[in-house]
Amino acid sequence: MTVAISLVVPFVVLLTLPLGKIADRLARHLKPEPPSQQFDNVVTEIAIALVEPVESIQTYRCEVPNIAMLPCSDREIVVATTGALEELSRYELQALVAAQFAGMRNRWCRMATRAEIMWWAIPWFFPIGLCGLALDRQVAMVVAFCFLFVWAFMPRKTEHARDLCADIVAVRTTFDPQSLASAMRKLAEHAQAATQIRFGAWYLPTNPFLVLPKRHGSKTTVNGRSWTQAEEVRMELLLRADRAEAMAKGGKASDFTGREFSRRWGKLGK
């Protein structure tokens, strides 16, 4: 009974929670502004090129270049910030938007997105786990420790799984993987602005839907090396760009996952 209250119930709730409902609520908080005529022309051309409804591509006023994909209940919506429309070329925008549509329509990518949301929600379900203290203190403490361990050490794993699924689908579906890689590199150059991202609401998960994830201004120090979360974001986006280019040339996605990530991670702060 204690295990059910502390562990099973939160995961069942999250597994049965429709992903579309979260995206619906997030979309209601965005309140996109009408784009200028120039931006409207770009959005219309991209929608026509991808054979997608024009209303499925929205613009959101934000100076930080970013792209978001919202798998709502009745449709998919891609949100491009005004910063992205200013910084990226038309081909880069088209490649990124196409990649987002393809990614969220892939079941493995949606599953990885759900896993990242489950990790994000762990602190919210911590009080439920503590309810088990009334039944079996020892078991509840073990389960609480497992929750804390997963919450502290698994965020990168869930992000990498989602990014890997999205990149594989994107390279297979886009007609211009070079532009996709180029767009990733341009977003990487704006990684310092990851702490300035204002997207959605504070009580909703946003990173699972963003290409350039939101980060905090904290520093990490390991063995005398120090680096910021913005530097991590830059490294991850450059890794994704290299992976997209390599896969387009027939390379393996596995060459740019765990081992390569660890190698680049080890260079941070040097």
Q: What is the pLDDT of residues 160-210, one digit of tens each?
A: 777 877 888 888 777 678 888 999 999 999 988 877 888 877 788 888 888
Decide if pLDDT at 27 tops 80: yes
Tokens at 251, concatenated = 């390379």
Q: What is the mean pLDDT of residues 258-267?
A: 82
Share of the chain above pLDDT 90, in %: 7
| Better-predicted residue by pLDDT, 169 or 40 | 169
Look at residue 151 in the predicted model and tell me its pLDDT: 55
Decide if pLDDT at 270 tops 80: no
Q: What is the pTM of this model?
A: 0.80
Decide if pLDDT at 49 tops 60: yes
Instruction: Give the best-scoring range by mean pLDDT among 29-38, 60-69, 216-225.
Output: 60-69
Look at residue 188 in the predicted model and tell me its pLDDT: 92
Look at residue 152 in the predicted model and tell me its pLDDT: 53
**For the chain, which residues make up each domain, given as ranges?**
2-265
Residue identified by tokens 């990885």 is 112
pLDDT tens-place string over residues 73-86: 888 888 888 888 88
Look at residue 38 in the predicted model and tell me its pLDDT: 65
Q: What is the mean pLDDT of residues 247-255?
A: 84
Give me the DSSP letters along the chain: -HHIIIIIHHHHHHHHS-HHHHHHHHHHHH-PPPPPHHHHHHHHHHHHHHT--GGGEEEE--SS--EEEEE-SS-EEEEEEHHHHHHS-HHHHHHHHHHHHHHHTSHHHHHHHHHHHHHHTGGGGHHHHHGGGGT-HHHHHHHHHHHHHHHHH-HHHHHHHHHHHHHHHHHHH-S-HHHHHHHHHHHHTTGGGGGG---S-TTS--GGGBSS----S-EEEETTEEEEHHHHHHHHHHHHHHHHHHHHTT--GGGGSHHHHHHHHTTTT-
Q: What is the mean pLDDT of residues 129-153?
A: 59
Instruction: Give the best-scoring range by mean pLDDT among 39-48, 151-160, 202-211.
Output: 202-211
Q: How confident is the model at residue 1 (pLDDT cuts 50, 70, 90)?
A: low
Look at residue 135 in the predicted model and tell me its pLDDT: 60
Query: Residue 220: phi, psi to the nearest 5?
Result: -115, 135
